[in-house]
Structure 1
Amino acid sequence: MAGHAPIIGQGKTVTSRRIGIISLRLHGYLFSFLPAPLSCPPIHRLCFALQGIKVYTVYMVHSISSNPSWFASGNAFCTCALLPHYISASRVRHFPTFLLHHNPTAPVLSSGHPSMATRSRASMAAAFIALLAVAALRCAPAAAELERVEHPAKNDGSLSLLVIGDWGRKGTYNQSRVAEQMGKVGEKLDIDFVVSTGDNFYDNGLTGVNDQQFEESFTNIYTAESLKKPWYLVLGNHDYRGDAVAQLNPVFNKIDSRFICKRSFIVNAEIVDFFFIDTTPFQLKYWTHPKDDHYDWRGVAPRGKYIDNLLKDLDEAMKKSTAKWKIAIGHHTMRSVSDHGETKELLQLLLPVLKDNSIDFYINGHDHCLEHISSRDSPLQYFTSGGGSKAWRGVFQPTDDKLQFFYDGQGFMSLQLNQDQADFIFYDVFGNILYSWSSSKTNYLQPSIHVTEE
């Protein structure tokens, strides 16, 4: 095969976080590597190209797989060349770790077709880099115990909280109105904290730790005294479309001490364990068919290993839990009659873990509505609180699930817990009670249920 393999996106540098570049000069070729910070995933695939006329610097970046628009050509193909051997064009998503960037300080080695000597040297360099890639494969993220956050219950053993999802729009789409009513209900219930089910910042998450949207969509919106309690947040798919690693950065907790956002973690509140679950990586289409969206998979890729470890960690943590109530929190729906409907990957992979460990409730956002669905094959109950701002009016897709309540407008949910009972209430944008439901565990094993619809 004659000629040089084209390099897509030549001259584009996507990341500015350069943490100690390692440079290797082999036979006149300069290879520069950017070691990933601890929050980045290990290098699990290697994509680089060599041309006889230029030298390129390799930078660690957000997943190339998810945003072909980064490249000057605007298409979704990249040709990877390992001189003297050639690899045919493949979709960019198959090479998710590196972007190639011209090093302007490197000498021009030749023009036209590379000589045999040049090819030989390039082959040696390529082999060396391949060895680095193989070594990196051995550094895949391993399972680790989930981080625990201790949040004591009230002196009488009870707990009160609000649940909001899909909200960060700088106050628009009635976000400010919902926030106002949350403040009033929060004061009435003397809440202990707030749970966010994700999609905290629209449309494409945060751009970095200096993004003003953090204050415009969070700090300046939820100003009621009753809401100045800890906020425990998971990431949603829209958060992953921005700088997801930045949103997890503790710097935001220093800007606003309420903000506690992590991937997957546990909040222990004595009578209840809340298992916060990072559900976005489960959905395969975000990896294989991202369309024009970019997903920040740093700290996540490779997907399979990440999910396997997460499920193992969750199963171990749930089995160790001695709390009377066990509640799972995620962004994506498992059961829903709104736009997104069921998330099949969660039903196949996560739901069995929840059932095996007798999780009482799964609470999510993602669908911009309020709903309660009862499981037909277990005591597990599903609650959607995704009405924090923009709602999807008129979207209703009936399923075979046991639908208890559905509201296609804006609002939020409260949850009050004690040793014996859990009380759920949905509120609309005016603070009106739309629906309430209770479950009791007086005998610890078989919950009794009663429903009140306003």
Structure 2
Amino acid sequence: MSLKRRQFLFLSSLGTLGTGVLGWTLTRQNNQVANIADSTVIAATPPQNELLLRFASVADTGTGAKGQYAVAEAMNFYHQRNPYDLVVLAGDNIYNDGEIEKIGAVFERPYANLLSQDVKFHACLGNHDIRTENGNPQIKYPGFNMQGRYYTFRRDAVQFFALDTNRNADWKNQVIWLEQELSRSDAPWKVVFGHDPFYSSGHYGVSQSLIKRFVPLFKKYNVQLYINGHDHHYERTSAIEGTTYLTTGSGAGVRPTGRSKWTEYSAERLAFAAYDVYPDRIEVNTMGTDKKIFDKGVIKFKSV
């Protein structure tokens, strides 16, 4: 092969190589630009593993007896490892008749460790609570953080709605109030709590009256979770028309329970539940007095 021919091939290969390098450089730069654009979009949306809020729930607590203290000790144990600063207290806060003079024995002493660390309890009224002055002393008690017989408050991405489910409740105005509050809420997560169960496999069973009053609103406004007590057991349902129903009424004592077609987990155990709220899910962890998690569940976020 002549020198000129070899020179031509060599220069041609350099040209091809240069084109390849240039193409690779431009592609890399374009990818970097695309990645920067993508990362900007991702940064605008909270990462799906970002913890937004952690809270706990317990109910039927107000005995001041051994069972309540055992659950409170488990709540302290969990708090030391997984800090939370909010507890939903779903009624029957003072046995047997809602006497506010018992508040030290049935609330302030059992939960002294949590209260000293600025954990806030938000309560609603149970059937035992209204036996003294229709529960008004409890509504006024600062430690229960109640704003009325039914009320709402927001924490981060979660809006909570407390109901009065007692037989003498102001049903007409309460239903109107709830729809108004749900309709104006822009919180991604909506959690309702009250004392009485809608769906239960325990002593009180299913409440058709509560289902008729509230389930259409829960469905319409995408309420993802309802928390209650009254039945003294633990039970977590599968999603029923988009809402998970969770009974945590074993905060001081237990009664027998069973299972229903919608039951994900039920247990006759002293317990409380903890909730880790993320952008796309709520993780439920339920702990017994042996300080071990015995139920884990996930409530998936579902937009309207």
Question: TM-score if structure 1 supplies the norm length?
Answer: 0.53
Match of 1:180 among 73, 82, 87: 73
Trace 1:229-308 onto structure 2 (pairs within 5 A). 229-243=119-133, 244-249=135-140, 252-253=141-142, 258-261=143-146, 262-281=148-167, 306-308=170-172
Partner of 1:425: 285
Aligned position for 2:303:
445
- 1:222 corresponds to which residue? 111
| Shift, 1:396, TM fit | 2.9
Distance of 1:187 and 1:358 partners within structure 2: 33
Mapped partners of 2:87, 2:303: distance in 1:
28
Amino acid at match of 2:257: F
After superposition, residues 344-363 of structure 1 pair within 5 angstroms as 344-363=208-227
What's the CA shift for 1:270?
Answer: 2.6
Letter in 2 for 1:434: F
346-355 vs 159-168, which moves further: 346-355
Ranked by relative contact order (alpha carbons within 8 Å, sequence separation 6 or more), the top structure is 2
User: Would you identify which runs of 4 or more consecutive aligned residues in structure 1 move more than 4 Å?
Assistant: none
Alpha-carbon separation, structure 1, partners of 2:291 and 2:277: 21
**Which amino acid counterpart does residue 218 of structure 1 have in structure 2?**
F
What is the SS of the residue equivalent to 1:280? coil
Other-structure match for 2:47: none
Which structure shows the higher helix fraction? 2
Q: Give the equivalent residue in structure 2 for 1:127.
A: none
Which of 1 and 2 has greater Rg?
A: 2
Find the residue that maps to 1:267 and give its secondary structure: strand
- Distance of 1:187 and 1:312 partners within structure 2: 40
Q: Percentage identity across aligned positions? A: 24
Question: What residue is the counterpart of 1:408 in the other structure?
Answer: 268
2-structure distance, mates of 1:396, 1:175: 19
| 8 Å contact from structure 1 (residues 165, 385) kept in 2 | yes
Give the CA deviation at 1:182: 0.4
- Separation (CA, whole Å) in 2 of partners of 1:308 and 1:267: 21
AA matched with 2:156: E
Q: Separation in 2 of the partners of 1:225 and 1:205?
A: 22
**Residues in 1 aligned to 2:120 and 2:244: alpha-carbon distance in whole angstroms:** 25
Distance in 2 (alpha carbons) for counterparts of 1:390 and 1:313: 33
What secondary structure is seen at the aligned counterpart in 2 of 1:166? coil
Distance 1:163 1:265 in 2: 17
Task: Give unpaired runs (5+ residues) of structure 1.
Answer: 1-155, 282-296, 301-305, 447-454
Query: How far apart, CA to CA, are the structure 2 residues paired with 1:358 and 1:415?
Result: 18
Partner of 2:257: 396
Name the residue aligned to 2:8.
Answer: none
Q: What secondary structure does 1:224 align onto?
A: helix
Letter in 1 for 2:245: Y
Measure, in 1, the Cα distance between the counterparts of 2:74 and 2:257.
26
State the alpha-carbon separation in 1 of the partners of residues 217 and 114 from structure 2. 38
1:162 is aligned to 56
What TM-score comes out, normalization by structure 2 length? Answer: 0.78
1:339 and 1:397 in contact (8 A); partners too:
no
**Take 1:397 and 1:239, find their aligned partners in 2: how far apart are those partners?**
27
CA shift digits 1:194-224 (9 cap, x unpaired) = 1101110111111x5xx1x101111111122
- Aligned counterparts of 1:365 and 1:348: Cα–Cα separation in 2: 19
> CA-atom RMSD, angstroms?
1.8
Q: 1:365 maps to which residue?
A: 229
Determine the C-alpha separation between the residues in 2 that align with 1:186 and 1:337.
Answer: 29
- Partner residue of 2:246? 383
In structure 2, give the amino acid aligned to 1:192.
D
Identify the match of residue 341 of structure 1 among 183, 205, 212. 205
Partner of 2:193: 329
Write out per-residue CA displacement over residues 5-49 of structure 1, whole angstroms, 9 at most, x where no aligned residue: xxxxxxxxxxxxxxxxxxxxxxxxxxxxxxxxxxxxxxxxxxxxx
Give, in whole Å, the separation in 1 of the partners of 2:207 and 2:245.
13
Deviations 1:82-140 (A, max 9, x none): xxxxxxxxxxxxxxxxxxxxxxxxxxxxxxxxxxxxxxxxxxxxxxxxxxxxxxxxxxx
Rounded to whole Å, the distance in 1 between the matches of 2:259 and 2:248 is 18
Amino acid at match of 1:265: Y
**Aligned to 1:345, what secondary structure does the other structure show?**
helix
Q: 2: CA distance between counterparts of 1:436 and 1:329?
A: 20
Q: 3-state SS of the aligned residue for 1:191? A: coil
Cα distance per residue 1:217-258 (max 9 Å; x no partner): 111111224764111000001101223111111xx32xxxx4
The answer to whether the 8 A contact 1:157-1:271 is kept is no
